[in-house]
Amino acid sequence: MRNIIVEDLKQTPLEKQRIEIVERKGLGHPDYICDAVMDRISIRLSRIYLEKAGAILHHNVDKSLLVAGETEPRFGGGIVKQPMLFVFGDRATSEINGEKINVSEIAISVAKEWFRKNMRFVDPEKHVKYQVELKPGSVGLVDIFKRKGKVLGANDTSAAVGYAPMTRTERIVRKTEDFLNSRKFKQRFPESGEDIKVMGYRNNNHLHLTVSMAFVDRYISSEEDYFDKKAKILKETEKFVNANTDFDDIDVQLNTLDVRGRGLGGTYLTVLGTSADSGDSGEVGRGNRVNGLISLNRPFCSEAAAGKNPVSHVGKIYNALTYKIARDVYEQVPDVEEVYIWLLSKIGTSIDHPAIAAAQVIMKGNISLETVRREIKEVLDYELENIDKFCTELAQGKIPIC
């Protein structure tokens, strides 16, 4: 028997509250880069371990630092004076039955692949240096992977929370960044860099979006050209936002630090399309939650999911699973207006039997929770019973975490 609790949550659904603040750090943001690369390393290691050992072995590659480089942006194209430094840290199994696994080579190779695929102007051979600090794991944590069973024991005592549904503000913040970083948009506006952050603020039914976008200097010939192209991008962004949401009033602003008449100092220009080329460093865990957002009105777990192993580290598994369970409850139980799912692990205990699994539910209208309590419990029980399948999808990279 699992310890499953379902209770009424006596609060106003977020969509009906007055104030809401939501942020998304986009594809080229230094924090996003760290999360995305480290999780791809975990996925690659998981595949190699399965091929060579028949099981995913101990690894937690969830520590990294992207140290900003040094550039000199110029109208018409600047120069890179010092490359970025990507530091990979934490633990990974590097030997299987006497065969050495070149973890450092794998980590660097994955990072280079990611940059080539996602960052148009970053040459991973010239613009990034790499420092790998991945060491073997502790005896206790490594031993978890030697224990038999359908699922492994949790390698930490940790808690996670997920929710559903997303509000209109959350949806439009996510959609806006996806739109601005889409291939089609980049083809039309190549001066738009990948480092984009969208901050959404809702006051009742009025939406304010502030977009930060790194422009690529080689496509900007002068200060006047910058502000002309910025105006066109802002107009396209406003058009998209207005067409994809239904607030009474929408205000969109772009690069609000800009000041005309100050030349390079009054514009947001980068050489490589990311602030990491000279202005801002990044770390795992400082970016989006596993649903791709930073929603300040919501409870969230402080664990960094990116790079943790997908079979025993609840900091990753429960982080992602709580959102899936919340979505399933919301979609399968029509009388639910909003739901929060909580999972708490106990180190060493099988991950399909958390110390507690709880659903906090806001019901529609005057509908009693008692009419659906059993149905909600069944959803939680089913997902925990099939957690091994969920972990497999995590290991294969089928479930995004940033």
Q: What are the tens digits of pLDDT across the range 81-124?
A: 999 999 999 999 999 989 999 999 999 999 999 999 999 999 99
Mean pLDDT score, 43-70: 95
pLDDT score of 140: 47
> Cα(149)–Cα(151) distance, rounded to whole angstroms?
5
- Segment 323-330 mean pLDDT: 98
**Overall size of the chain counted in residues:** 402
Q: Find the mean pLDDT for residues 60-64.
A: 96
Q: Is the pLDDT of residue 139 over 50?
A: no
The percentage of residues in the chain with a pLDDT greater than 70, rounded to a whole number, is: 97
Per-residue pLDDT at 299: 96
Q: Taking residues 124-130, report their average pLDDT.
A: 98
156 falls in which pLDDT band (50, 70, 90)?
A: confident
Q: How many whole angstroms separate alpha carbon 89 and alpha carbon 100?
A: 19
**Sequential DSSP letters for 8-20:** E--S--GGGSSEE
Quickly list DSSP for 169-182: HHHHHHHHHHHHTS
Residue 144 clears pLDDT 60, i.e. is over it? no
Domain spans of the chain, in order of start: 4-15+156-167+287-395, 30-144, 169-283
Q: What is the mean pLDDT of residues 350-361?
A: 97
DSSP H stretches of helix in 159-292: 168-180, 183-188, 223-244
- How far is Cα 128 from Cα 84, in angstroms, rounded to an integer? 5
- Distance separating alpha carbons of residues 285 and 25, to the nearest angstrom: 12
CATH number of 4-15+156-167+287-395: 3.30.300.280
Can you give the pLDDT at residue 149?
61
pLDDT at 141 over 80: no
Burial, 28: exposed, middle or buried (Cβ in 10 Å; 0-12, 13-18, 19+)? Answer: buried
Report the C-alpha gap between 259 and 11 in whole angstroms: 43
User: Rounded CA gap, 135 and 287, in Å?
Assistant: 25
Q: Using one digit for the tens of pLDDT, what is the confidence trace for 231-246?
A: 999 999 999 999 999 9
The one-character DSSP state at 141 is H
The class level of CATH for 30-144 reads alpha beta
Give the pLDDT score at 115.
98
User: What's the mean per-residue pLDDT of the chain?
Assistant: 95
Per cent of the chain over pLDDT 90 is: 92
Phi, psi for 325 (deg, rounded to 5) = -65, -40
Contact by Cβ (8 Å): 6, 361: yes
Residue 66 has pLDDT above 90, yes or no: yes
Residue whose C-alpha is closest to residue 379's, from 338, 337, 316, 324: 324
How confident is the model at residue 143, as a pLDDT? 57
The CA R_g of the chain, rounded to the nearest whole Å, is: 23
Look at residue 302 and tell me whether its pLDDT is greater than 90: no
Flag the least confident range among 88-92, 152-156, 394-398.
152-156
Residue 138 has pLDDT above 60, yes or no: no
Domains 30-144 and 169-283 share a fold: yes
pLDDT at 350 over 80: yes
Q: Which residues contact 299 (CB under 8 A, 6 or more apart)?
A: 161, 163, 340
Report the CATH number of the 169-283 domain: 3.30.300.340
Q: What is the 3-state secondary structure (H, E, C) of 92-139?
A: ECCEECCEECCHHHHHHHHHHHHHHHHCCCCCCCCCEEEEEEEECCCH
**Banded model confidence at residue 310, pLDDT cuts 50, 70, 90:** very high
- Please give the Cα distance from 111 to 158 (Å, whole number): 29
Which residue has better confidence, 71 or 138? 71
Sign of CA dihedral 295, 160, 67, 309: negative
The pLDDT assigned to 301 comes to 87
